[in-house]
């Protein structure tokens, strides 16, 4: 078994490579080559932290099992740590032999933003130049680096009630980056909007979005949280990472679910239509799925062997 740290993963899975790895993952899902159940969460009564189990299996010529085990700890930012802590483990899909044990926080950080970049590459207008980010945590930083890989971003506006100025101060990017005092100021006239918060109530309103805007709604991952108001969800040409995920875990799908044009993988293989025109508002609703972790970890392991990084540990 090869053990890979956060630093190893950053070497083996640069963001620009991960975008195409995620395309492969979602295409494979759309083609029926990957199976995964809805993730299972465990919430102990004596803590606000909870555990999550996310397994997946890929068939085909190189079968592979993968499992991500996470502890989601809401208090971790106050400790200077990511809320997501855990491990991704890979197993040979034929023999079940454990192959790798990897830092899950870094995989989650990179692949989540890479999927948003993939959705942006597929759905945003070609001339999109202005990006709004609502949130200022780990995923805000990851998206700040990911979205400019697929569109020529000239200006980024960031809103977070407490953290935006410090976030902007520590970033070094080749475009105009500024903190703004309200979410509305960030979103109005933006070509691309990214929400990466843990808000229980919408932080983006339909009235703020101009024609042609693309929205990546990323942060809300339980039925208690919703970042984008229902009017936007219903007005947008809506795509998701996995229908089973949004139906089971997205608040806006729990009663009278909105129309969905397709999963992002369906769009990539031509089974779902793309943006209908330059005036359409498009939205990608991301929950994060085990298929993405499986393909990211497989890529990391192959690159780690090639680069000679990580630690080989006998079982």
* pLDDT tens-digit series, residues 258-278: 999 999 999 999 999 999 999
At 302 the three-state DSSP class reads helix
d(CA 101, CA 310): 10
Spell out where 109-184 has E strands: 130-134, 155-159, 176-179
Taking the C-alpha atoms of residue 214 and residue 304, their distance in angstroms, rounded to an integer, is 35
Q: What is the mean pLDDT of residues 293-304?
A: 98
Residue 173 burial (CB count, 10 A): 12
What average pLDDT does this structure show over 104-132?
98
Domain 2-107+291-312 CATH superfamily: ornithine cyclodeaminase, domain 1 (3.30.1780.10)
Read off the pLDDT of residues 157-175 as tens digits, 9 standing for 90 and up.
Answer: 999 999 999 999 999 999 9
> What is the maximum alpha-carbon separation in the chain?
58
Q: What is the C-alpha to C-alpha distance for residues 18 and 23, in angstroms, rounded to an integer?
A: 8
pLDDT bin (cut points 50, 70, 90) of residue 80 is confident
Give me the sign of the Cα torsion angle 207, 249, 260, 195.
positive
pTM (two decimals): 0.96
Cβ-Cβ contacts under 8 Å for 136 (sequence gap 6 or more):
158, 160, 163, 164, 166, 167
In the three-class reduction of DSSP (H, G, I as helix; E, B as strand; rest coil), residue 299 is classed as helix
CB 270 within 8 A of CB 99: no
d(Cα 120, Cα 166) in Å, to the nearest integer? 26
Tell me, what's the pLDDT at 314? 84
pLDDT above 80: residue 185:
yes
Ranges of each domain in the chain: 2-107+291-312, 115-288
**Mean pLDDT, rounded, of the chain:** 96
Neighbours of 45 (CB within 10 A): 4
315 pLDDT above the threshold of 80: no
281, 236 in Cβ contact below 8 A?
yes
| pLDDT single digits (tens) 39-56 | 999 999 999 999 999 999
Fold of the CATH domain 115-288: Rossmann fold (3.40.50)
């Amino acid at each position: 078994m090869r053990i890979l740290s956060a630093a190893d993963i950053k070497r083996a899975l640069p963001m620009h490579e991960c975008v195409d790895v995620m395309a492969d993952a979602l295409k494979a899902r759309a083609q029926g080559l990957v199976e995964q159940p809805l993730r299972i969460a465990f919430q102990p009564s004596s803590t606000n932290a909870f555990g999550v189990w996310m397994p997946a299996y890929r068939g085909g010529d190189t079968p592979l099992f993968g499992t991500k085990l996470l502890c989601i700890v809401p208090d971790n930012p106050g400790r200077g740590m990511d809320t997501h802590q855990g491990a991704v483990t890979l197993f040979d899909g034929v023999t079940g032999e454990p192959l790798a044990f990897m830092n899950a926080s870094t995989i989650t950080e990179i692949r989540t933003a890479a999927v948003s970049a993939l959705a942006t590459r597929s759905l945003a207008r070609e001339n999109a130049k202005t990006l709004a980010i609502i949130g200022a945590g780990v995923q805000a930083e990851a998206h700040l680096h990911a979205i400019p890989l697929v569109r020529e971003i000239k200006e980024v506006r960031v809103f977070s009630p407490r953290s935006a100025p410090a976030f902007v101060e520590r970033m070094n990017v080749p475009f105009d980056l500024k903190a703004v005092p309200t979410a509305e100021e960030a979103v109005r006239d933006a070509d691309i909007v990214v929400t990466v918060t843990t808000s229980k109530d919408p932080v983006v309103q339909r009235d703020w979005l101009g024609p042609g805007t693309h929205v990546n709604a990323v942060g809300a991952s339980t039925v208690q949280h919703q970042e984008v108001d229902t009017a936007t969800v219903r007005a947008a040409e809506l795509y998701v990472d996995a229908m089973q995920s949004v139906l089971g875990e997205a608040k806006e799908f729990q009663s009278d679910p909105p129309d969905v044009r397709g999963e992002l993988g369906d769009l990539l293989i031509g089974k779902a239509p793309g943006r209908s025109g330059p005036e359409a508002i498009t939205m990608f609703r991301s929950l994060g799925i085990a298929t993405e972790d499986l393909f990211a970890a497989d890529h990391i392991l192959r690159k780690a062997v090639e680069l000679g990084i990580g630690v080989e540990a006998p079982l």
